[in-house]
Amino acid sequence: MSRVDDKVALVTGGGSGIGAATARILAGEGARVMLADIDDKAAADAAAAIGDNAASSRLDVTKQDDWDRVAAETLDAFGGWHVLVNCAGILRRGSIEGTSLEEWYQVIDVNLTGTWRGCRLAVAHMRENGGGSIVNLSSVSGIVGDADLCAYDSSKGGVRLLTKSIALYCAENNLGIRCNSVHPGVIETPMVHNYIAESDDPVREREIWDGYMPVDFQGTADDVGMLILYLSSDESRLVNGAEMVIDGGTTAG
């Protein structure tokens, strides 16, 4: 018996980084997985690498029509929907004085409202179909602030409490749905690599990221995928509304 072989999972941001690793790990433990991403080519490539247990679709998490279509495609392809992993996200530099209203709305729209859209749709489906598990990617930046990540921190703090609200609502109404947030530290993915490459001083920026976590190594997407596997499986049936930190001790002090 594999750990999630009775589950169908929809993973947003499935074309890259943590989303792609999570989809591969879930499929490796028996799940059937829909990889959804605004980069549909990347999602298709990642699904093809997994094999028959995976499909892919284009999803812009800011578009409700896309969400409705991808949910329907997931049900058509696999006959159920038990796990939602909200991995899609964007990282934009900017302090309170360095963030325009347009940039603010863009980050909130993708990271927070996009997650809200997915959760709302998943709860509506799962409550009528035996329950499920929702996993939302927040960040250590949803727990502690960064001077130059004003919009990102705000979006991830929002995801943290959105998750707890959903968790309580579903528990109090006996819907059989759990909702938890995951808070990674530094994970080596294209998001981090692009952020460093686009900085004014990439060498200095790399040093800052390398020194961010107290452990002497950086995290991998698989490290986070293994935690999401646990939260997706019935092994975590009592875990609800939790903020699962995976940051090498960054927020411990």
121 counts as binding ligand NAD under rule CB under 6 A: no
Contact segment (CB under 6 A) with ligand NAD among 3-11, 13-21, 23-31, 199-207 equals 13-21
166 counts as binding ligand NAD under rule CB under 6 A: no
39 counts as binding ligand NAD under rule CB under 6 A: yes
180 counts as binding ligand NAD under rule CB under 6 A: no
- Say if CB 9 and CB 26 are below 8 A apart: yes
Rounded to whole angstroms, the Cα distance separating 160 from 137 reads 9
Tell how strand 32-37 and strand 8-12 pair up: parallel
Contact segment (CB under 6 A) with ligand NAD among 24-32, 117-125, 182-190, 197-205 equals 182-190
Q: How many CA atoms lie within 13 A of 161 on its CB side?
A: 6
187 counts as binding ligand NAD under rule CB under 6 A: yes
Sheet architecture: strand order including 32-37: 54-58, 32-37, 8-12, 83-86, 132-137, 177-184, 243-246
Nearest distance in Å: CB 143, ligand NAD: 11
Task: List the catalytic residue out of 105, 152, 195, 230.
Answer: 152
Q: Which is nearer to ligand NAD, 80 or 190 (CB)?
A: 190
Rounded to whole angstroms, the Cα distance separating 219 from 101 reads 32
Q: Which is nearer to ligand NAD, 15 or 248 (CB)?
A: 15
Active site residue 152: yes
In order, the DSSP letters of 94-136 are B-TTT--HHHHHHHIIIIIIHHHHHHHHHHHHHTTTT-EEEEE
Q: Which is nearer to ligand NAD, 41 or 237 (CB)?
A: 41
Residues marked active site are found at: 152
